[in-house]
Chains A and B, each alone.
Chain A
């Protein structure tokens, strides 16, 4: 499940946004790619201290509990080696390849796609000098099943592995603490020397992509304190924690002497020390990086720049970058509302939608593009559905549709959005467009921390007529978009609409999802794209609004800071060095 986060659109979850055409290809492909940016190709200077500035509190560092994309990436680069990972790239936005990390290769899958094998490299060690064993991976992955203790992380292990489920969808294995169903897990995940074998419930060709998440990382049983392990970082990567982690503040990381570069094909780990400071606001953090004084010269920004800081970022010439974000922001008409159960009313809303206001409010056309597809342009399935009535919408046509709906004009609608300054401005413009078409829009800004909870509560179905929402794919596949947002069978329950916030429920469409699921490659992409276009232009079940881009900046001494859009869409510190 991936949606945009509380703080100004920071990714809450893994962002594997970009076209990943080369997954599974040679692990060395990236290192030969010529580097246009500074340090990456030239080889940076070893030593020094890198400062990471952040405006977002890290919720979890426990590898099995991390689901925020940026934390998956930084965690992997600093202290949690995974079986596979997405390699560093030489240029911003370049597609990264899937490479081996703690394993010798990116895994081998059996002919029927139901068994995956990885062999762990010799010489991969924990920070206390003990070898990282197959059993450590097996134990680490088992922790995901302890859903009452290990909360917040992705549950792909539960979905993928061949362990029977209870009627309510939970696994019959309850994790390593309760040990209920331990024999089932021991059958699904086996160790033979250094080789770990996973048995899949269904044939799956992309399990080695899921394995890039730290949730599939190793965890040593004797270091496991359950809930208390949340910030107790125990490293097997190039850096280890000095002292302890302080929530909302951060910590200092120093070199892990037991990390052997010979076992690591891609982490350069140039700086001797990394100081993580998450006590800032996004504005002050960018002010400091732009001012470029003292230690801030050696700093990189973890979060993307807020809209208000964008204009100043341009003054940091050569130190900022603009890259595509993995998200699509869209409107959801509520099928349970009196107004939008009416097909013509939804059509009118779609026709009257003025995206230009949103584009400007979110930072201008350099960083925001209007879209009419739910699937992000970075995914191969992106259908690029043309806008129904241009960027500004067509109030006259919309009014005709609304008059044809049989509703009495003006039609009162309650529209909910996640309250922040940018969306306040964007929705003022959207409201003007809708009102011109005969709606009478009442905007309701809901505080960020309650937003998605409110959407997903059953009471909202009768309270609001339409909602704002945002979504990005967990994998570079539209199979983590369309079914997650529009498959009524898996989403809607007595407890609420799941991610199908508008209660879109169409049997024919669901059948289309099943068909697309069975297809692979380009055919699958075409099927997903067609479904996207269908729901947008035929049912008006969602109204895609915009795709935005992220802006990042770093200090003048930092070299090799490149945004890895395939992995998560944030700076990749594998090759970062600090000039002396």
Chain B
């Protein structure tokens, strides 16, 4: 946090200068944010990349439906020799197969990576959503109620934070996914996704709860809350109409920061074999398979590996940039 606020301070100084030159006419927080972001080239590029990945992930099922992406068809003619390695340079890169083909099957790696991205972003986004909802509700309640309620929720937050998340995911996966699968009576992919979303979401909320609680603690001393109280506003109104609009900045910042963590966790679980199961592609399972071919077909590791790196990097940079632009302190200036 200290580093971030230092950067925020610098930006703030720049803004003050800019503000002095420009007309004194009030600017909305949105305008301030946009102006700051526009000046931050790295963040703009990261945002562009993140949007590109999101659009690609959203389009993947459509493209697959129309046959433009094909993550499942074998192309046995494109692999050969002992061990069925891709024919041609760079793991069989060609105009049809931009990232080459998978050893052993000839499936298109680009299609598999993009489909893996869809799965990955769905899991990461929904897990963040679960975290945000839980974290915001608990944070607001804890911050406004104070006293015993606050103490209890804070201890629960500490308790959950001290849980080893990855270990829980691995340990529980088989049993819970089996149960979900027999309950839902469907392929393993959906139960695996639900499981990961719930567990990652559940272990992600304390971060949000802490930040929101801190914000609420300072906000509730402000005059407009007291005014609402004295006008007889109910709890729900104070929570959702008065407090929540002031919390969107930290929620947005932490969402973009938790996203890449979730993407990486999903890939790690797939790598360890407890995430999305074959034949549904995922970053983790692709990388797990590709490391065996590290010497015989390095391109198979490099293309998906670099893609995952870029996805995580773009979301991380975007998160950092947003935090700078939306630094909660700026609100109070």
The answer on a CB contact under 8 Å between B85 and A311 is yes
The yes or no answer to B64 lying at the interface (CB within 8 A) is no
The answer on a CB contact under 8 Å between A311 and B81 is yes
Contacts of A476 in B (CB 8 A): none
One of B104, B278, B295 near A307 (C-beta < 8 A): B104
Segment touching B, from A71-79, A225-233, A423-431, A505-513: A423-431
Which 8 residue pairs are nearest across A and B when measured between Cβ atoms?
A310-B83, A428-B279, A308-B292, A311-B83, A424-B278, A364-B84, A310-B82, A311-B296
Complex CA–CA separation, A47 to B102 (angstroms)? 46
The answer on a CB contact under 8 Å between B82 and A551 is yes
The majority secondary structure among interface residues of chain B is loop
The answer on a CB contact under 8 Å between B278 and A445 is yes
The answer on a CB contact under 8 Å between A366 and B82 is yes
Residue of A nearest to B292 (CB): A308
The yes or no answer to A484 lying at the interface (CB within 8 A) is no
Residue of B nearest to A428 (CB): B279
Complex CA–CA separation, A424 to B281 (angstroms)? 11
Contacts of B295 in A (CB 8 A): 287, 312
The answer on a CB contact under 8 Å between A363 and B105 is no
One of B102, B106, B279, B296 near A308 (C-beta < 8 A): B296
0/1 string, B60-93, CB within 8 A of A gives 1: 0000000000001110100111111100000000
With known contacts A311-B85, A367-B82, A360–B106 Cβ distance under 8 A: yes
With known contacts A287-B295, A424-B278, A360–B73 Cβ distance under 8 A: no
Complex CA–CA separation, A483 to B278 (angstroms)? 34
0/1 string, A293-329, CB within 8 A of B gives 1: 0000000000000111111111000000010000000
Contacts of A309 in B (CB 8 A): 83, 296
Complex CA–CA separation, A166 to B186 (angstroms)? 47
* 26 A-B contacts (beta carbon < 8 Å): A308-B292, A310-B82, A311-B81, A311-B83, A311-B85, A312-B83, A314-B81, A322-B82, A357-B74, A357-B76, A359-B76, A360-B74, A361-B104, A361-B105, A363-B82, A364-B84, A367-B82, A421-B289, A424-B289, A425-B104, A425-B278, A428-B74, A428-B279, A432-B73, A443-B277, A444-B188
For the complex with contacts A310-B82, A421-B288, 20 further pairs of A-B residues with Cβ separation under 8 Å are A307-B84, A307-B104, A308-B296, A309-B296, A311-B103, A312-B83, A356-B76, A357-B76, A360-B74, A360-B104, A361-B104, A364-B82, A421-B292, A424-B278, A428-B72, A428-B278, A428-B279, A432-B74, A443-B277, A444-B188
Contacts of A306 in B (CB 8 A): 292
The yes or no answer to B23 lying at the interface (CB within 8 A) is no
Interface residues on A, range: 35 or more
The answer on a CB contact under 8 Å between A427 and B279 is yes
Contacts of B285 in A (CB 8 A): 424
The answer on a CB contact under 8 Å between B279 and A366 is no
Complex CA–CA separation, A425 to B105 (angstroms)? 7
The answer on a CB contact under 8 Å between A361 and B277 is no
Contacts of A307 in B (CB 8 A): 83-84, 104
Closest Cβ of chain A to B202, distance in Å, is 26
Interface residues on B, range: 20 to 34
Closest Cβ of chain A to B275, distance in Å, is 13
The yes or no answer to A186 lying at the interface (CB within 8 A) is no
Residues of chain B at the chain A interface (Cβ within 8 Å): 72-74, 76, 79-85, 102-107, 186-188, 273, 277-279, 285, 288-289, 292-293, 295-297
With known contacts A311-B296, A312-B296, A421-B289, A363–B72 Cβ distance under 8 A: no
The answer on a CB contact under 8 Å between B279 and A431 is yes
The answer on a CB contact under 8 Å between B278 and A364 is no
Residue of B nearest to A312 (CB): B296
The answer on a CB contact under 8 Å between B80 and A364 is yes
0/1 string, A426-444, CB within 8 A of B gives 1: 0111011000000000111
Residue of A nearest to B84 (CB): A364
Which of B79, B105, B288, B297 gathers most chain A CB within 10 Å? Answer: B105
Contacts of B288 in A (CB 8 A): 421
Closest Cβ of chain B to A226, distance in Å, is 36
The yes or no answer to A422 lying at the interface (CB within 8 A) is yes
Closest Cβ of chain B to A437, distance in Å, is 16
0/1 string, A494-515, CB within 8 A of B gives 1: 0000000000000000000000
Complex CA–CA separation, A255 to B297 (angstroms)? 43
With known contacts A357-B74, A429-B74, A308–B83 Cβ distance under 8 A: yes
Closest Cβ of chain A to B67, distance in Å, is 15
Complex CA–CA separation, A257 to B79 (angstroms)? 53
Closest Cβ of chain B to A175, distance in Å, is 39
Closest Cβ of chain A to B277, distance in Å, is 6
Complex CA–CA separation, A367 to B104 (angstroms)? 13
Contacts of B186 in A (CB 8 A): 442
The yes or no answer to A283 lying at the interface (CB within 8 A) is yes
The answer on a CB contact under 8 Å between A428 and B84 is no
Contacts of B187 in A (CB 8 A): 442
Closest Cβ of chain A to B124, distance in Å, is 23
Contacts of B103 in A (CB 8 A): 308, 311
The answer on a CB contact under 8 Å between A424 and B279 is yes
Contacts of A363 in B (CB 8 A): 82-84
Residue of A nearest to B185 (CB): A412
The answer on a CB contact under 8 Å between B289 and A311 is no
